[in-house]
Amino acid sequence: MECAAKGTGTRCNSAATRLCTRCEAVAYCSLSHQIKHWSRHKLECDRLQQQMECVDLLNDFPFTFSCEATFQVCAKQETRCSFFSKRGLHRVGMWMHECHCGASSASFDLLGLNNGWDLSSVLCPCHGPEFLLSEQLCSWRDYYKWRRIPLDSPVALLLHWPLTIYRAAQLVGITTSNLVVGDKLYIHYLGPEKELLQLAVFGDLLALFPGVHIHIELVGPAIPPQRDGEKIIISKYPCCNEEKCVCKLASENAILGTQTGLTSALTLQLWRGFYHDRYRDVVKDSFPHLVIAPNGGIAAYSSWLPSILFLPIIARKLVILQQVA
């Protein structure tokens, strides 16, 4: 952790090892920095304390971390670089941003929309599922089984983006059983970072929400200025690396394997800036069913605070709208 008082005056002279004993969410390099920072930190210490009590809950969030797929990295203390090298994925395509050495050379100008999995067809979900989901997915195991992928496939490392959305929707009661064909699902996605370079993987939402029109507004300071307002339509799954696979036929890729004729649609729109600043522009097109901030580390960014404080205001509006309707 960085000293929470870093950059507010005198320089930090050692590692930030002094935790705030109340919230245990922030750390300081020295007692003097802690005292100095208290006037600011006291405004958020209680909230952080409450959130830290939910840490166990967050760790159980099934789709944020895959034991099966990252087993090799954890158990053998293998570095990410060598994990990817062994699979021919080191600094390749969307995997580029998954290790430190690749991430450092990334540019936010390329959104990875045309990237494929760079894996053989048996190892990745490059086309529609064989059958529609009849039950909710509750683990990576469920997902891999449904998509017929072996558990040693690394795709979970990238698929946690769409599956976290799926899981969050599930938690607020938006499930495939209460969505009907042609429904619109509006999601506000706050603070996207490296997933902006891996947007092709969001295509899996087409399979997770069959027949639904999903609109995701990606709002955050990492969106490059020249891409502000850009709309992106994703109508396919990322392809595998086999030339003769069915995923290369546009029609096969975009529909579900069951030939049900259900077509899902996924539209992403990019908004540069902080959510509390851009909210009025974003909400013009869509009032959100779900607001999600996958990279919102609780004490990581001071700019989160106004956005977090802003959310209950929207939530209240949501309740009012429901009462009127």
Angle of the 67-75 helix axis to the 156-171 helix axis, nearest 10:
130
How is the chain split among helix, strand and coil, in percent rounded to 5? 40, 10, 50
- Closest CA relative to residue 147, chosen from 127, 122, 129, 120: 129
In the complex with Zn ion, the residue whose CB is nearer, 85 or 221, is 85
Smallest separation, CB 219 to Zn ion (Å) = 18
In the complex with Zn ion, the residue whose CB is nearer, 231 or 316, is 231
Q: Report the C-alpha dihedral over residues 221, 225, 228, 234, rounded to 10 degrees.
A: -90
β 290-292/231-234 pair status: unpaired
Query: Residue 266: phi, psi to the nearest 5?
Result: -130, 120
In the complex with Zn ion, the residue whose CB is nearer, 33 or 167, is 33
Smallest separation, CB 307 to Zn ion (Å) = 20
Residue of the chain from 206, 216, 218, 247 that contacts Zn ion (CB under 5 A):
247
Binding positions for Zn ion, 19-78, rule CB under 5 A = 20, 22-23, 29, 33, 45
Residue of the chain from 101, 300, 313, 320 that contacts Zn ion (CB under 5 A):
101
Q: Does 157 participate in binding Zn ion (rule CB under 5 A)?
A: no
Tell me the number of residues near Zn ion by CB under 5 A. Answer: 18
Residue of the chain from 89, 111, 123, 126 that contacts Zn ion (CB under 5 A):
126
Q: Does 96 participate in binding Zn ion (rule CB under 5 A)?
A: no
Cβ(281)–Cβ(275) below 8 Å: no
CA distances in angstroms from 247 to 212, 269, 325, listed in the order given: 21, 25, 43
Q: Does 121 participate in binding Zn ion (rule CB under 5 A)?
A: yes
Interacting residue ranges for Zn ion, rule: CB under 5 A: 3, 5, 12, 20, 22-23, 29, 33, 45, 81, 99, 101, 121, 126, 213, 240, 245, 247
